[in-house]
Amino acid sequence: MTSRQRCLSMVTLNPRLIELEYAVRGPLPIRSLEIQKELKEGAKKPFTEVIRANVGDCHAMGQVPLTFLRQVLALVTYPAFLESPEFPDDAKERARAILNSCQGGSVGSYTDSSGLEIVREQIAKYIEARDGVPADWQNVIVSGGASDAIRKVLRLFMCDVDGKKSGVMVPIPQYPLYSASLTEFGLSQINYYLDESKNWSLEITELKRAVDEAKKVCKPRAIVVINPGNPTGQVLSRQNIEEIIKFAYEENLYILADEVYQDNVYAEGCKFYSFKKVLTELGEPYNTVELASFMSCSKGYMGECGFRAGYAEVINMCPEVKAMYLKGNSAMLCSSVIGQACLYTITNPPQKGEPSYESFQKEKSAVLESLKLRAKMAADTFNSMEAITCNATQGAMYAFPQLHLPPKAIEAAKKQGKEPDVFYAFELLENTGICVVPGSGFGQETGTHHFRTTILLQTEKFKTMLEKFAEFHTKFIKTYS
């Protein structure tokens, strides 16, 4: 008997999935998990644990959950706790509001596909308080994390225009969600390069160069801006944001503003400005630019990655397009209701006079101050090493140092068929247990080599990691010099 041919094979699989790459969870993290398993099975290594500095997972790196947030989530998942004196009244008040808005009074029920109305209304209030400009809750769409929200907007551009593929401008270095999603959706990626020599600044002349070149092969339709930057950690000035909005207006581009690190600003003189605020305050004609901005409960001081909760605020979207956008979202039923409760609580924290206010502020400040300290530690330590330069981490949760590798190291990488920074990162992992992400996974200027590390390990452990890193790096440079 001849064997039945598989319905799905590598020949008949969606070719875009084969092309898709996502470095943050690529070969290095996979190998780190294998090493972790080997250590548990008693394998002898020059280290005793794997340090996964490759992904921005705050709680996995030791950050303690915020008490008030978890109290509200405990109450909504087990309402019997509402009778317990162990929980403060302000947490109970928020839990009751959430439960009263759920079908059957349970977070186990479905919600509207765009999210609970009470959650969307609260997010709109949060945006208004942040920006000082009006926000319509009907423009707020709750999602399963910011990544989900971003992908749902990107897929709106899956359409050829004037006989050309649609193109989306992305910063280089970029967060690989964008390159992976553009590949999957069959959209053209238009790279614009951040200027490392000016602390990863975004130059308008570079945007113009990129869009003019792209017009030869695709139809530029949108621009992605990550502020604060990932993996680069820069914070855009208000003037820079104004220039980007004016550029988008002139080129008729839709702006996708990835603002998930808006609470993570550390450097003196830096301040977060939302694209929504600046666009609105610019007035006509620039306040007509189409904008989708994204926020998440996974980053900031919260770090609640596992609840998978985020939102998009869309403004100036064509009403007919918005109807199609909402229709597309409805196919996924709704995002996690526990995640929605998390968003509601984050955007409605304890206020002055409420019983949890002082403790909440203390916990929040402690997280952000610790991140600020580690941001400086990272840049100072990397800049003290031979053959590494590192811009200051002004915001977000990462350092993105440049490696100035000796020719012998580059040659050794070629012999193994690896990019030089991939070769370096594998050597680092196998010798120290430290897992970082090579810069080639984010994109970088040709001839440069980088890596991204998080700053999320708690301070003492982060200090130990940097010491181990420095010891390895010194030996590596000596070996290949």
d(CA 222, CA 234): 21
452: β partners: 437
Cross-strand partners of 26: none
- The secondary structure of 404-419 as a DSSP string is ---HHHHHHHHHTT--
Percent of the chain with pLDDT over 90: 86
- DSSP per residue, 401-468: PEE---HHHHHHHHHTT--HHHHHHHHHHHHH-EE-EEGGGT---TT-EEEEEES-S-HHHHHHHHHH
Q: What pLDDT, on a 0 to 100 scale, did the predictor assign at position 29?
A: 86
Q: Is the pLDDT of residue 1 over 60?
A: no
Q: Domains of the chain, with CATH numbers?
A: 15-45+361-480 (3.90.1150.10), 100-346 (3.40.640.10)
The pLDDT, as a whole number, for residue 10 is 75
C-alpha 404/C-alpha 406 separation (Å) is 7
Q: Tokens representing 480?
A: 């290949």
pLDDT tens sequence across 113-138: 899 999 999 999 999 999 999 999 99
Whether pLDDT at 281 is above 80: yes
Q: What was the pLDDT predicted at 277?
A: 98
The kind and range of the H/E element at 81 are none
Does residue 418 carry a pLDDT above 60? yes
The predicted pLDDT at position 357 comes to 98
For residue range 71-127, list pLDDT tens digits in order.
999 999 999 999 999 999 999 999 999 999 999 999 999 889 899 999 999 999 999
Indicate the angle between helix axes 117-131 and 275-282, nearest 10 degrees. 60
Average pLDDT estimate for 216-234: 96
